[in-house]
Structure 1
Amino acid sequence: MDIAKPLDMISAENPDAESPKEKEPVKILLAEDDTEDQELFIDALDEAQIASEVTTVENGQELLDTLRDESQSDPDIIFIDVNMPVKGGKKALEEIKKDDYLRGIPTVMLSTWDHPADIEDTFAKGADLYVQKPNSFNAFVLLLKKVFLLHWAKALLGPVRNLFFVSEKNVGKG
């Protein structure tokens, strides 16, 4: 018997065993100016059973201020609404990805629109995913499950163009 068995092998043999990673909630920073959308996001995370700690900010400037605040711990992932007041999501994304300290934090863009120019622009600026906000709560739950599946699957790959845009229309696909 091999005593130096990797943790993932033990977990694979016993799927009911929790790995240490599963016990820790995902630290999410959500930049969204609409409080109803903030609540919908948090409720959808709960329904999707994604253990998380969500911090919300209402514009791109608050997002950057929070990320640069040394008293705050770094998030595991950032969700950024494209259209926000004060400083928009694309401008905030650009500043995050130009910052040597912040650029490695995965970023997911959120928008009600699926304009090809916005999608291409955020891909070029370094976002990890672009998610079109769905029209229903159940679709939002499915989308968040897909986002987290894609995020963790892509952790070793970096942004992949054919996996970059996620919407209600393609949530059931590979």
Structure 2
Amino acid sequence: MQAQTTSIQRILLIDADDDDQFIFEHILCEVAPSVQLEVRASEKEIVDVVNQWQPDLIFLDFNLPNDGGVECLQSLKQCKDSHLFPVIIYSSLFNPKDIETAFDLGAIQYIQKADHYVKVKDMLCSFIEMPKRA
């Protein structure tokens, strides 16, 4: 499989589940090896990470411990240039209230975590091909 050319160069994954982190990283390396991935397990110091690293795209698990997903999304929207990086909720939580909250806080999409390798791969490919925001 040939690597895809993409304008997305840096992805930040915020997810507390080690297995989900591993799967995400493995698939990303397969479909877009040139894309850099930064992984965080919590919302702690996330504003500093984003301001220094400047990701092109953020995947956030809304199911972080202690309501951390909501707090994290609120913090992300306070970052300088927050309009430049889309935040995609990628979570096992999938109820209308969570979805509404995520969109109210600025997420551009809410995706339920897939339990199948091919579905995760297809999802990642669709976002990697997305143009960067200007």
What is the TM-score normalised by the length of structure 1?
0.64
What amino acid maps onto 2:28 in structure 1?
A: L
Residue-pair matches, total: 130
Q: Once the two structures are superposed, what CA deviation does each residue of 1:90-114 show, in whole Å capped at 9, x if it has no partner?
A: 2211222244433432111111132
Counterparts of 1:49 and 1:100, CA distance in 2: 27
Counterparts of 2:95 and 2:34, CA distance in 1: 31
Counterparts of 1:80 and 1:37, CA distance in 2: 12
Identity %: 28
SS at match of 1:113: coil
Counterparts of 2:122 and 2:57, CA distance in 1: 18
Counterparts of 1:30 and 1:48, CA distance in 2: 16
Counterparts of 2:9 and 2:76, CA distance in 1: 20
Matches within 5 A, 1:60-71: 60-68=43-51
1:89 pairs with one of 69, 84, 106: 69
Contact 2:46 2:76 in 1 (8 A): no
Higher Cα radius of gyration? 1
In the alignment, structure 1 residue 49 sits paired with structure 2 residue 29: no
In the alignment, structure 1 residue 140 sits paired with structure 2 residue 120: yes
SS at match of 2:13: strand
Structure number with the bigger relative contact order (C-alpha 8 A, sep ≥ 6) is 2
SS at match of 1:126: coil
Counterparts of 1:117 and 1:87, CA distance in 2: 14
Q: Once the two structures are superposed, what CA deviation does each residue of 1:111-170 show, in whole Å capped at 9, x if it has no partner?
A: 113211111111111111211110111111011112334x43x958xxxxxxxxxxxxxx
* Structure 2 unaligned spans of 5+: none
* Structure 1 unaligned spans of 5+: 1-21, 157-174
**Closer/same/farther in 2, CA of residues 131 and 42 from structure 1, 3 Å limit:** same
SS at match of 2:29: helix
- Residue 55 of structure 1 deviates from its aligned partner by 0.7
Counterparts of 1:140 and 1:77, CA distance in 2: 16
In the alignment, structure 1 residue 28 sits paired with structure 2 residue 11: yes
User: Runs ≥4 in structure 1, deviation > 2 angstroms?
Assistant: 22-25, 46-51, 62-65, 98-104, 146-149
- Residue 57 of structure 1 deviates from its aligned partner by 0.8
